[in-house]
Homo-oligomer: A and B are copies of this chain.
Amino acid sequence: MWLMNDSGALLTDYYEPAMAQVYLRRELTAEATFEVTIRRLPENWGFFVMAGLEELGEFLRQWRFSDQDIAYLRSLGSFDEGFLRHLAGLEADVRVRAMPEGTVFFAGEPVVEVAGPVITAQLLESAVLNILGYSILAATMAARCRLAAGGRAVADFGLRWCQGPISSIRAARGAQIAGVSLTSNVLAAKLLGMTPTGTMAHSFVEIHEDEERAFWDFAEVHGRQAVLLVDTYDSMEGIEKAVRVARRMRDIHGVRIKGIRLDSGDLAELSRLARRRFDEEGVAFMKIFASGDLDEYRIADLVTAGAPIDGFGVGTRLAVCAAAPAAEIVYKISTYDGRPLAKHSPGKATLPGRKSVFRAGRDVFGGDMVVPLQRGDGDLLRAFDSPESMEIIKGRLDKQLSRLPRAVQAVRGPDGYPVAFRGFGGSGG
């Protein structure tokens, strides 16, 4: 299923091999560097979180045109045999400099640099963007949800709304980088070592003719893990039934079930009612989870309103990142054969040459500076060789968020973070 083991080399835009053939014919085969940048922060976003490097590394290691790939390209009638032979011999012999995963970064900053023979580096463009763009968005969206949740649990419920199976894994891993350890996606949990989580669907309640009986059946089988979905018919009645089931489970089996999930209605009001009833009825151990079109804004509002919700399941809006369904991510050439390059298209101008990014401030980040490449310490762009452990990546993000000004982290109307471009001549600013 979804067997894409033909190496991924054909996952490229047609213009890449079209250009590459000209490069080979004209002997334009020197080294080039390309850099990946996101042009703009989406509305209300103060920062991005770097993610996707591990997958990029795996992609580059396996990248190769198979015989079948070459045969397909030949069938198109636009590529000559010399070029096809060249492609057949290629490996992804590129060097990558990148901000490590979990790094906080900003619009306009180079986050990845791919350096290598121009043909190879050009052919990789589409896949690099495809891999990094959504990974970064998902990690950032999850970080925003966690910031909004202020220490309460956040779970990734996005699988069904993602565009595809691989993207659901990217979304889960992005969430994991942002400190989300729970996902509803069983495959993602398996591949990434996350904790699979879930409650029950409305269908479960409907199949049982009686809602309380449904709760009881689920509680008896799942015990301490049982979370009861209370809104199939009427959330207020559902809460009362959950109270009775929780009491009976405790009295008969000596088991404290986990809690309830609210999925519709006024979540703040319902959570207060549920909390009060659980406390009144001696089942104060019951936790309250909420889901249903949640995003960082609704989570922030619920937290601000003091809603006694212990955890949030975020589905659609984590999966599709409604504020920014696609990153304005670009892969732009910065040098060819050592010569700095830039383009000047209206609204799309780039700064020439290879770059370094330095960050000021010890306890609190004070601003970034993008400058022409400098050898030495402190450059946020480092040689990327092998993947890091998730602990290191998560730790990096935690540490960076502890130093990023709080106002830049605001979920609504964040302060801008200063990024200066110096040393690029008149076009810097």
Contacts and interface: CB of A to CB of B under 8 A. Distances in A.
Contacts of A320: 320, 325-326
Interface residues of A, number: 106
B336 A325 contact: no
A111 interface: no
Given A13-B198, A345-B232, A3 B1 contact: no
Given A164-B165, A217-B22, A203 B2 contact: no
A3 to B, nearest CB: 5
B129 A72 contact: no
A345 B231 contact: yes
Contacts of A190: 10, 72
A36 to B, nearest CB: 11
Interface string A49-80: 00000000011001100000000110010100
A322 B321 CA distance: 10
Interface of A, secondary structure class, is: mixed
Nearest to A261: B15
A28 B322 CA distance: 38
Contacts of A8: 1-2, 165, 187
Interface string A189-222: 1100000111111111111100000000110011
B233 A189 contact: no
Interface in A1-48: 1-8, 10-19, 21-23, 25-26, 28, 32, 34
Interface in A354-393: none
A100 to B, nearest CB: 22
Interface string A214-245: 00011001100100000111100000000000
A400 interface: no
Interface string A180-192: 0000111101100
B130 A168 contact: yes
Given A13-B185, A160-B125, A322-B325, A206 B165 contact: no
A419 to B, nearest CB: 23
Interface of A: 1-8, 10-19, 21-23, 25-26, 28, 32, 34, 58-59, 62-63, 72-73, 76, 78, 118, 122, 125-126, 129-130, 133-134, 157, 159-168, 170-171, 184-187, 189-190, 196-208, 217-218, 221-222, 225, 231-234, 263-265, 316, 319-322, 325-327, 329, 332-333, 336, 341-348
B160 A129 contact: yes
A428 B393 CA distance: 53
Contacts of A217: 22, 25-26
A111 to B, nearest CB: 15
